[in-house]
Amino acid sequence: METPGRILVVDDDRRIREMLASYLTEEGFAVSLAENGEQLRGEMAAAEIDLILLDLKIPGEDGLTLLRELRRQSSVPVIMITGKGEMLDRIVGLEVGADDYIAKPFHLREVLARIRAVLRRSVAASKPDAEAVGAATEAGRLAFAGWTLDPRRRELRDAGGAEVELTTGEFNLLLAFLQAPNRPLNRDQLMDKLRGRDWSPFDRSIDTQVGRLRKKIEADPKNPSLIKTVRGIGYIFTPEVAAT
pLDDT tens column, 130-159: 444 445 445 578 999 999 999 888 899 999
In a domain, 146, yes or no: yes
Q: Are residues 112 and 184 in the same domain?
A: no
Contact 105, 13 (CB under 8 A): no
Q: Are residues 43 and 138 in the same domain?
A: no
Choosing from 125, 158, 179, the residue where a domain stops is 125
Q: Are residues 37 and 74 in the same domain?
A: yes
In a domain, 97, yes or no: yes
In angstroms, rounded to a whole number, what is the distance separating the alpha carbons of residues 135 and 170?
18
In a domain, 29, yes or no: yes
pLDDT at 163 over 90: yes
Q: Are residues 115 and 140 in the same domain?
A: no
Q: Are residues 44 and 13 in the same domain?
A: yes
In a domain, 54, yes or no: yes
pLDDT at 69 over 90: no
Question: Which CATH number do you get for residue 165?
Answer: 1.10.10.10
Would you state the pLDDT for residue 197?
40
Which region holds residue 167: left if phi is over 0, alpha if psi is between -120 and 50, else beta? beta
**Nearest-5° angle of CA 167, CA 178, CA 91?**
45
In a domain, 1, yes or no: no
Read off the pLDDT of residues 165-209 as tens digits, 9 standing for 90 and up.
888 778 888 998 998 898 888 877 787 666 544 444 444 567 888
Mean pLDDT value across residues 8-30 = 95
Count of domains for the chain: 2
| Radius of gyration (C-alpha) of the chain in whole angstroms | 19
Q: Are residues 109 and 151 in the same domain?
A: no
Q: Are residues 117 and 58 in the same domain?
A: yes
Choosing from 125, 150, 183, the residue where a domain stops is 125
Would you state the pLDDT for residue 229?
92
What domain range is 186 assigned to?
130-243
Choosing from 125, 144, 177, the residue where a domain stops is 125
Mean pLDDT over all residues of the chain?
83
Q: Are residues 93 and 188 in the same domain?
A: no
Cα–chain-centroid distance for residue 70?
11
Question: Which CATH number do you get for residue 115?
Answer: 3.40.50.2300
Q: Are residues 231 and 164 in the same domain?
A: yes
The pTM for the full model equals 0.57
Q: Are residues 108 and 10 in the same domain?
A: yes
Mean pLDDT value across residues 58-79 = 86
Q: Are residues 136 and 231 in the same domain?
A: yes
Contact 68, 98 (CB under 8 A): no
- For residue 79, what are the contacts with CB-CB under 8 A and spacing of at least 6? 51, 52, 53, 54, 98, 99, 100, 101, 102, 114, 115, 118
Q: Are residues 32 and 64 in the same domain?
A: yes
Surface-to-core class of residue 182, CB atoms within 10 Å of its CB (0-12 exposed, 13-18 middle, 19+ buried): exposed
Would you state the pLDDT for residue 203?
47
